Each structure stands twice: as C-alpha cells, then as structure tokens.
Amino acid sequence: MTEAVAAKKPGWRTLLRALGNRKTGFMALFGFASGLPFALFLGTLYAWLSEAEVDLETMGVFSLIGLAYSFQFLWSPLLNRVDIPVLKRLGKRKQWIVLAQVALGIILVTLSTLDPKTALGWFSLLAGIGAFASATQDIVINAWRIDVADEEATIDILSTVYQMGFRLSSLVGGALGLIIAARIGWPQTYMIMGAILLAIGVAGLFAPDAVAKRDLGASEEELAELRQPGQLEPKVRNWALAAVGLLWAWALGTVIVFMVRSMTAMPEDRPDPTQFTATYGPLIVIATIVLPALIAGWLAKWQREGRHVITVEAAGQARSNPLADHLYRALVLPLTEFVGRIGWALVLILALVLTYRITDSIWGTFAYPFYLGELKYTNDEVAVASKFFGVGAMVLGLACGGWLLTVLGRMATLTLGAVLAAATNLLYADLAAGGAVMSAVSDAIGFSWLIEHLGGTEKLARLMVTIGAENFSTGIAGAAYVAWLSSIVAKGHSAVQYALLSSLTLLVGTLGRGALGQMIAERGYHAMFMFVTMIGLVAIVLCVFEWIRERHYGRAAGVVAPDALTMPAE
C-alpha cells in the first residue's frame, strides 16, 4: 500500500486521530466564534429590540445588516493581500481573525452599556460595524481552514468541526441567550457574550497559521513573476483589472448606497429590500462573478495558447505598474487561477453550488408560519422541537457526516446528503397533509410514548421526529458540502475563491422566496414541499456528474482520486 493511500485509510481511527490534532481544536473554537455574532446580530438582537419597544419598521431596517454576510466576497480580495501593521507577525490569516474577534468582543460589550430605545443611532451603528466585522471574520476563518488542512487534519474533518462549532454557538447565542436574558437582563447577556469573544480572540493568538507563500503578501519577487516570459502582457492585465475593478466597484457602491438610504431616509422614502434583492441581486452576481469569470476564462485561454503574453525577447523590457500588479494579484488572479484550473467544469460547479442547499434554505423563511400558523403549535413546542432537539440532531448529523467522509469519501457523502435533503421535504409534506405517516413512525420507534411520559403530546413528538430527521440529514449534507467546496479552491487564493462560491450557495433560495410565498398562498404547503423535493432531484443529478468529473480528473492526472466511485484497493 502506498503512503498516500495509507494516510487516507477510512475509519474511526483516522477520525479520532484528526480530532486530536491541535488544528482541529482551534477549528472548533473558530467555528464557535463565527456562529456566535451571527446569532446575536441577526437573531436575539431583535428580541432585545422588542423588549425595548422599538417599532417593527425600525427592526426591519436593522435586518439590512445581514447584507454584510450576503456580499462579503466584495472585500475578500483586500483580506487576501492587505497586512495589518504590528499584527501581521501573527500570520496572514490570524492577524485578521484575532482583530475581528477582539473588535466583536468590544462591540458586544459596548452594546451592553447602551439603551436601544434612547441611543438607537449608536446602537444601529455598532450593530452594523459588528455585522461587517463578523462577515470579515467568516471570510478569513474559511480561508484559514483551507490553508492549514493537511493529511491528518483533513479539510473534510476541519469543515465538519467548524460547522459543529458554528451550530453550537447558534444555540448559545439563540435559545440559551434568551434564557439567560430572562433571568439577568439583555445588557448582562451581551456583556457575557462579548467577554467570550474577547477570550477566543486571545486564545487565537496561539493557533497555528498557514504557511502559503502566495498568502504572505506580494513581494517584489512575486510581482516580478508577472513580468516573466509566458505571463500576460501588462496592457492585457491592466485592461482586465480595469474591467473587473469597475464591475466590483459598481456592485459595492450599489450595496452601500442602498444601506445608507435605508438607514437614513424617512420611512416613506426607504427602498424596498425585497425589491432590491430581486432586482439588484442577480445584477450584482452577474457583475461580480459571471462577467469576471468570463474575463478570467479569456485570460486563461490566451495564456494557455501563448497569445498576448510576454515573449523571451521582450521579458527584459517588460514594465508594469507595481500598484496595478498588486491589484491584479488580489482581484483578478484568483479568478484566473480558478477558471484556468477548472475550465468548462466551472459551469457544472456553479450549477451545483446554486442548487445543493436550496431544498433546506428556500423555505426556511416560512418555517415558523408553517409550525405556528398552519399546524397550530405553540411557541414553547416549536422552541423545544427546533431550537433544542433540532440543534442536537444537527450536531449529530454533522458528526455522522464527518465519519462518512472518512469511510465513503467526499463525493459519495455529498451525493447521499443531496438525497437525504430532498427526501426529508416529503416528511414535511406529510405533516402538511395531516401527519399520518410521521405519527406512525413516531409511535413505531417509541418516541411518542417517551415524549408523552415527559409531559409532551403525540403531536409534539411527531414534529420533533420530523425536525430531527431533517436536521440530521442537513448535518450530513452540510458537512459534505463545505468539505467539497473547500476542496475545489486553491490555498493561495482561498479567501476570494471560497467567499465567491459560498455567497452563491443561498442565492437561488433568497431570490426564489417571493415566488414560493405566492405558491403557498395559492396552493398550500403540501404542494410547496413536493415542488422543493423535485428541485432537490436536480442537485442529486449534478452531484453524480461532479462525482464522475472528479473521478475522471483523477485518472487523467494519473493519481488515485480519494473520492472515486470505488475506494482505492489496499
């Protein structure tokens, strides 16, 4: 057996060895730090605002801070190249991780000293800055995960552990935060959460950092590589940089103008966020991803064919602007590298990115109306089923997904996750039709008896089984998806490439919710769940195609692919 194959031998021993790795421990810590501010700024903050009697329209404006997460890729090139004075000695990724975590801790502690009713302006400003810092932290933590992965702390295990930390922090910042606030108050709760992030920021100083040459800043030697024979001519690079730069500048400016208008204009003059997402969302994606990808494709094609490149004779005379070269390496080169490496398979990858998580994301907005309005559950029942039992099932699913990644391989687990995610919508369809099947399942496994003896009802048991099954399946799918997404980006350009791809993950779900709401109003929840199940079939087919592509790529390269259709023989 070769050494490479032995390192990938599946099973619990491989998993336990990875979990004992120092990198894995810090990954869990960073995952927790990534999920905590997300829960606090986009979840429990609104409970605090409600208790402070802030009006619903103002809270709707507060929700716009979520755009920082949706469009985080717009400033990811800066994080890939800009160093922070003094902190840069920590490492390319750690300097930003520690800064973001400390800043978030200070912001949360500061929020705890403010009254949202009397200091709403400062409150909203700090919340907006906090969301920006949180999204920035996500970019760099994702890049750190990809860069530090090795044969023991594999990208599959690190991705799974990251999500487990993220989900647990959502429980701490969400349900547990509500419980704590009911006993000691919101200011004290946010002060505790801020102290936790400050402590994680201090601990992050001791985390290992990636040693990737291209991520240590563009030195003169690295810039000189752009002037070597076979590299694109400076005028071609500058043309591409200008085009991509203008497209990204327009997108960033559009988002900033929208947020400023929403936060400062009178209520009657505020833009409609739903209309903005539906109208400008696709245009921003076209401007920042589709058109730059086409430009990058042309650049890769020209360089591969030797067109518009620096010749041997002209190499000594090639001159370019250092500032333009820095910007080109930060903004255009990550796209050129990805498109040049992936080729036409980019179409398949983008299609899979757009559709894989749609089955569990597109109807999430309507979950509470479904539970509370359609099925007539109480707030307490939904909290128990979704926040506590559901999160536990999610974490268990992530753990199972991490194990499956070591046993079945990445693509097999990814495909299985797509199948399960699509199938679990049928469970909700049964609930919408009366829940006869789910009641029978709950009774057969003895879960109804258990919940009734704990003071619950058979109806609650039915909901818990359904949510538990869905979240367990989502955990498996999520573990495989993040691992796959992390595996297709290059370490040297991980911040930009991962941020771009991950931003597309929920795009179709976000843009399609308006139409889905109309379908529910006209045809009911049962029809909606059946429709979403059919959409999930598309993701399954795309997974199979990507599985075949990766297997073919491994054979063409003359290596044994770890995620081939069959496991490598010993």
Residue-by-residue DSSP string for 83-133 = PPTTGGGG-TTHHHHHHHHHHHHHHHHHHTTS-TTT-HHHHHHHHHHHHHH
Residue with the bigger pLDDT between 413 and 16: it is: 413
Phi, psi angle pair for 245, to nearest 5°: -60, -45
Q: Are 304 and 293 in contact (CB under 8 A)?
A: no
Residue with the bigger pLDDT between 54 and 397: it is: 397
Mean pLDDT for 48-70 is: 72
Tokens of 513: 């919710």
Buried b (16+ CB within 10 A) or exposed e, 245-282: bebbeebbebbeebbeebbeeeeeebbebeebbbebee
Mean confidence (pLDDT) of the chain: 81
CA-angle at 84, arms to 81 and 88, nearest 5°: 85
Q: What does the pLDDT read at residue 473?
A: 94
Q: Are 248 and 287 in contact (CB under 8 A)?
A: yes
- The model carries a pTM of 0.78
Tens-digit pLDDT profile for residues 398-440: 989 988 998 888 999 999 999 999 999 999 999 999 989 999 9
390 CA to centre of own chain = 20
Instruction: Band the pLDDT of 570: cuts 50, 70, 90.
Output: very low
Which one-letter amino acid corresponds to residue 554?
G
Expressed in percent and rounded to 5, the helix, strand and coil fractions of the chain are 80, 0, 20
Q: Into which CATH architecture does domain 348-556 fall?
A: Up-down Bundle (1.20)
Q: What does the pLDDT read at residue 222?
A: 62
- CATH of range 3-215; options 1.10.3720.10, 1.20.1250.20, 3.40.640.10, 3.40.50.12500: 1.20.1250.20
CA-angle at 485, arms to 201 and 248, nearest 5°: 80
- State whether residue 217 is helix, strand or coil: coil
Which single residue is written with the structure tokens 């779900």?
A: 509
